[in-house]
Every structure is written in structure tokens, then in C-alpha cells.
A and B are shown apart, each in its own frame.
Chain A
Amino acid sequence: MNVPDQQPQTSAWSMYRAIVGIGAFCALVIVVVFQSTAARIRDNQERFLAAAIAEVLPETRTTVAVGLAEDGRLVPTTETLALPVFLAFDESGQLAGAVLTAMGMGYQDNIRVLYAYSFEQNAIVGFKILESKETPGLGDRVEIEPHFIANFEALDASLSADGSALANPIVTVKQGEKTDPWQIDGITGATITSEALGNILNNSASEWVPVLERDADTIERGDRSNGQ
């Protein structure tokens, strides 16, 4: 005697219908949410960036996003780079400096920083950590230790004679052993994070400062205000 099937065999049509139906439903929800939040998210990001730029280079009134063209020259850019770089202009339209983002591996995860370079002083004059997941109480002291923050009032980033690289690489030294203006006085107990920041700044500055020094004058001040 045949035992009757407990469940009817699922037809190919109902499988197909389900997969396509669910797929369509999911796609609809995602697209709706994405579209409705996109503007707000962009706003948040711009506001955050504007506030950060104002913090590292207070004289900024307008910025122009720049990038590297194929031949290595500095050009204004409209595409959003992974690590945006801006030229900052003050009230009178003069070049106030450059603001750069840089990223590198810290102890726990990537650290993302924003720093300001001054053409007058040939030095890094402002510094802010945008994103970090460093150890609380240890690595994250780089954000609050006064002597560490003082490093960035005028961190020397002058170029070598031929202008192709930094004259002296930015390097982190042990706390209290700073002797030269291109050194970063580290934090005892947060060695890895301090050194990581030194590396991040050195890599970024080595790559960008030569180009900025050479080509910054060729960029016109645009009308992109710094959200002020």
C-alpha cells in the first residue's frame, strides 16, 4: 500500500514565483530606503567634513577638492576620492593652506586623519583624528594628550632641495625625546598608535606636499564655500 505524500512536491512555478517575488520585494525595500536616506547622509558627511576642516584650518572660507591627473599634476576634481584633498582659501581669496585626509593601519583597525598643511610655514599646522578604533584609555589618548596635540602646531614638512620629497621624514619618537621639528613626541603606553600616526602622516605628506608646493598656485579659487 502506498503511503500518500505528506507534502505535495513543490512545483517549479511556485519556486520560481517565490524567488522572483522575494527578490523584487527586497530590491524594492532597499532602493526605497537608499533613495530616501541618500540626501540626509550626504548632508551629514559634508557637515562633518566642513566642521573638521574648520577645526584644523580655521581661516578656511572656501575649499576646492583636488586630485592628481594622469601626468601627476594637481587638478581640481569633482569625483569623491577615497582620501579627499582640498585647497583652502581664506576670506580674501588667498590660499590659506591645504587640508588632506590620510589613512593607515593603527593597532586595532584603520585610523583616518585630517590634517592641514601651511604653505607659509612649510609645516603641518592642524591635525584631527576622524575615525579610530584604538584601545580606549591607551591608544585613544592620542586624541586628548596635550603634549601629543602640541606636536601639530608646527610639524615641519619642508621639502628637500629639489622639491621631490620631504627633507626629513616625519617620524615618531619616544615621549620626551623630541629634538627636531619634524619629529612627533609619542605617548608612552600608546607606542603603536603614536608610531602609526607618524607613518600615516609621513606617507601622506611625502606623496602630496611636493605636488602641492609645485602646483597649488595653478588652481583657481572656486565658489565652493566651506558650508559656512
Chain B
Amino acid sequence: MASKEVTSTDEFVKGLWRDNPVFIQVLGMCPALAVSNTALNALAMGLATTFVLLMSGLSVSLLRNFIPREARIVCYICIIATFVTSVDYLIMALSLELHRALGAFIALIVVNCLILGRAEAFASKHKPGRALLDGLGMGVGFTLALLFIGVVREILGSGSLFGVAVFPDGFQTWTVMVLPSGGFFAMALWLLIVNRIKQKQAATAKTVEVTS
């Protein structure tokens, strides 16, 4: 296989599918399950996490020559916590309702293994431009994954999408989907679909190899 020069678009796109944080890397599951009971909450959480990913990735990348190896985890944690605190206050200023709905989970972004993982694995070793793209890609991939789960849970569990009813009144909602169990089931469902797609991709790749 010929080696490719990793392009900038590649940095961005890899977070969407190939290295999707939730479905492939299986990181950051806590918020994915906890805050995805409505599509709006899922979207807000995804955007907040993307913000922290971007800002912390950028900061870590800019400061990468300044942070000594031994103290790097502590420094990363400090930086991430700073931006999480910032996004917490920004959301409070934006909408009290949203802040109440997301609750403590905004603060819990700081322990999202995804962010620390990206800072350590990527941002600390690449230039700010690349780090930004990587953060953006991972963030968007994370938001999309959360949205998928949230949409399923809201439609089945509340009969609505972003608060707008999508079923006629007679629809009996599957309340379990907006309960914690539903989070697990919805995630399992998507994981199954993702696994199936990966299986198919691997099978076609194999046939291509054999026939070429």
C-alpha cells in the first residue's frame, strides 16, 4: 500500500467516521449516554465539548514546547478545566434553561477521556493548525454521534424531535428510551449498525485484495 501524505482534510475527516470518538474509539461515553435524552441536549453537549476540544487543543499545541514532559498531564488537565469552566459560564449566560438541563454534565466534560486523549496523542505533537482541524473533526464526530443517539431516544421516548411532536397523539411513547436503560440500548443499536458497516467494508476490502 502506498503511503499517503496526511492532508489537512484528512485530519478533519478522520474524526467523523474512521476514528469516531464514540462509536469507534468508544471514548467519552458518559456524556453520550447521560445527556442524549433529547436531541437538543445532545446537540448542546456536543457543541460544548467541541468548543473545549478546539480551545484546549489549540492551547496545548501553542504551548507544546513550553510544557515539560514530566508535568504534562497536570498542565493539560489545568488547561482543559479552564475551558470547561469557561463554557459552563458561557452556557449559563446564554440560557439558564439549557444550563439546568445539562446540569453537572457540563463540568464533567473535563473528565471526558476524549479531550485529554487528543491533547496527549495529537495536539502536543502537532502544529496549531493541524491540532485545530483534529479537534474540530473529533468534536464534530462526537456531536454527530451524540445527535444520532439523542434523535433515536427522543423520537421513540417522547414522540418529538427538538421539541416538535412528530407522531400523532395516539402514539404510545417508549418511555424507557429516555430513561438510563434507553441510553444503553440506543448506543448498543448504533454500535451494532456501525459494526455491520465495518464488517461489510472489511469484506469488500478482502475481496478487492484477493481479486487484485
Contacts and interface: CB of A to CB of B under 8 A. Distances in A.
Q: Do chains A and B touch in the complex (CB under 8 A)?
A: yes
Interface of A: 7, 10, 14-15, 17-19, 21-23, 25-26, 29-30, 33-34, 37, 40-41, 44-45, 48, 131, 133, 135-138
Given A30-B82, A37-B89, A136-B158, A15 B66 contact: no
Contact of A135 (B59, B75, B179): B179
B92 A22 contact: no
Contacts, number: 73
Contact of B158 (A15, A33, A34, A137): A137
A138 B100 CA distance: 19
B175 A138 contact: yes
Question: Main SS of the interface on chain B?
Answer: helix
Contacts of A138: 175
In the complex, the 9 A-B pairs of residues with the closest C-beta atoms, listed nearest first: A37-B93, A26-B82, A40-B93, A137-B175, A33-B86, A10-B68, A37-B89, A22-B75, A136-B178
Given A136-B178, A137-B178, A22 B78 contact: yes
B79 A18 contact: no
Contacts of A14: 68
A29 B83 contact: yes
Contact of B67 (A18, A33, A37): A18
A49 to B, nearest CB: 10
Interface in B84-117: 85-86, 89-90, 92-93, 95-96, 100, 103
Contacts of A33: 85-86, 89-90
B68 A26 contact: no
B67 A44 contact: no
A7 B70 CA distance: 12
B47 interface: no
Contacts of A137: 157-158, 173, 175, 178
Given A25-B79, A29-B86, A136-B179, 8 more contacts: A15-B70, A15-B71, A17-B66, A41-B89, A44-B93, A136-B157, A137-B173, A137-B175
Nearest to B95: A44
Contact of B70 (A10, A17, A135): A10
A18 B68 contact: yes
23 contacts: A15-B68, A17-B66, A18-B66, A18-B75, A19-B74, A22-B75, A22-B78, A23-B78, A25-B59, A25-B79, A29-B82, A30-B85, A30-B86, A33-B86, A41-B92, A41-B93, A44-B92, A44-B95, A45-B96, A135-B179, A136-B157, A136-B175, A137-B178
A7 B75 contact: no
- Output the residue of B63, B93, B179 with the most chain A CB within 10 A: B93
Nearest to A7: B69
Contacts of B79: 22, 25-26
B202 to A, nearest CB: 38
Contacts of B70: 10, 15
Nearest to A23: B78
Interface in B175-190: 175, 178-179
Contacts of B179: 135-136
A157 B74 CA distance: 55
A37 B93 CA distance: 6
A19 B71 contact: yes
A105 B68 CA distance: 46
Counting chain B CB atoms within 10 Å of each CB, the highest count among A19, A22, A40 belongs to A22
B141 to A, nearest CB: 26
B124 interface: no
Nearest to B157: A136
A15 B70 CA distance: 8
A131 B89 contact: no
B59 to A, nearest CB: 8
A19 B69 contact: no
B50 interface: no
A137 B96 CA distance: 23
A7 B178 CA distance: 52
B20 interface: no
Given A136-B37, A137-B175, A21 B93 contact: no
